[in-house]
């Protein structure tokens, strides 16, 4: 299996983790997403329209946390090669640490801090996935992914629909896992599961980056 295929598999795994966290946050954090900022924008609009201050605060924190995560990830990756190297692996590992922190602090922390941590983590992931620049693939939102899949099925040039389809299915599977885990063991268990998956992706990426370094 080539290096590009391994990158695609890692993106599929990250998408599954994102779906898991999104489902858990919606169920356990008062119906707020931490990855799906399109959904949060709609929820924010509804909250403003109904003048629901508590809902405005929750969705506002999610949007802000996600933006900060993307900004930090982009700064860490600025000027780096668009390959899965040590920089990408470090950003993904940081995501895993933030998710694990949220899971560990679930009981003592307030809902706004947990939303902020979850959104920050998924913002880091989004920055990493975007930096890789795999055509038609994102890991934290799937509307664009579904659009690209259908356009490619219709015969538009620009690559195969297989990887975007796997990313969408992984996001769905992750959401199912998040919903089931949240039902059986509460939402922090789903955050912990996602953190484990992301950490494994980061570690595998670091190992691959070390193997690919030229020897002197």
Alpha-carbon torsion, ordered 198, 18, 120, 127, to 10 deg: 80
pLDDT average, residue stretch 1-26: 88
**Three-state SS string across 51-95, please?**
CCHHHHHHHHHHHHHHHHHHHHHHHHHCCCCCCCCHHHHHHHHHH
pLDDT tens string 27-52: 989 999 999 999 999 999 999 999 99
Find the largest Cα–Cα distance for the chain: 64
Q: Per the structure block, which two tokens stand in for 42?
A: 């709609």
DSSP 214: P
Task: Residue 34: count other Cβ atoms within 10 Å of its Cβ.
Answer: 32
Quote the pLDDT of residue 54.
94
Residue 18's Cβ-side half-sphere holds a number of Cα atoms within 13 Å equal to: 31
pTM of the model: 0.89
Q: What is the pLDDT of residues 92-141, one digit of tens each?
A: 999 999 999 999 999 888 899 999 999 999 999 999 999 988 877 888 88
Tell which wins on pLDDT, 178 or 205: 178
Would you state the pLDDT for residue 7?
87
Does 71 score more than 50 pLDDT? yes
Residue, of 140 and 208, whose pLDDT is higher: 140
pLDDT for position 147:
82
pLDDT for 202: 92
Which domains can be identified in the chain, with CATH numbers?
3-206 (1.20.1250)
User: Using an 8 Å Cβ cutoff, are 103 and 188 in contact?
Assistant: yes
């Amino acid at each position: 299996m080539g290096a590009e295929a391994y990158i695609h598999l890692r993106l599929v795994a990250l998408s599954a983790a994102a779906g898991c966290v999104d489902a858990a946050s919606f169920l356990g954090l008062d119906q707020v997403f931490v990855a799906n900022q399109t959904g949060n924008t709609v929820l924010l609009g509804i909250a403003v329209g109904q003048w629901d201050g508590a809902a405005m605060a929750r969705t506002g924190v999610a949007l802000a946390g996600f933006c900060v995560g993307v900004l930090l990830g982009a700064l860490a990756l600025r000027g780096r090669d668009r390959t899965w190297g040590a920089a990408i692996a470090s950003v993904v590992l940081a995501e895993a640490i933030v998710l694990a922190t949220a899971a560990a602090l679930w009981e003592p922390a307030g809902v706004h801090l947990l939303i902020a941590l979850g959104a920050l983590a998924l913002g880091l992931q989004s920055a990493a996935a975007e930096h890789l620049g795999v055509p038609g693939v994102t890991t934290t939102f799937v509307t664009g992914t579904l659009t690209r899949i259908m356009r490619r099925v219709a015969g538009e040039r620009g690559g195969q629909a297989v990887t975007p389809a796997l990313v969408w299915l992984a996001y769905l599977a992750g959401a199912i896992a998040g919903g089931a885990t949240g039902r059986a063991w509460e939402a922090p268990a789903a955050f912990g599961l996602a953190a484990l998956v992301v950490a494994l992706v980061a570690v595998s990426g670091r190992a691959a980056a070390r193997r690919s370094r030229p020897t002197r």
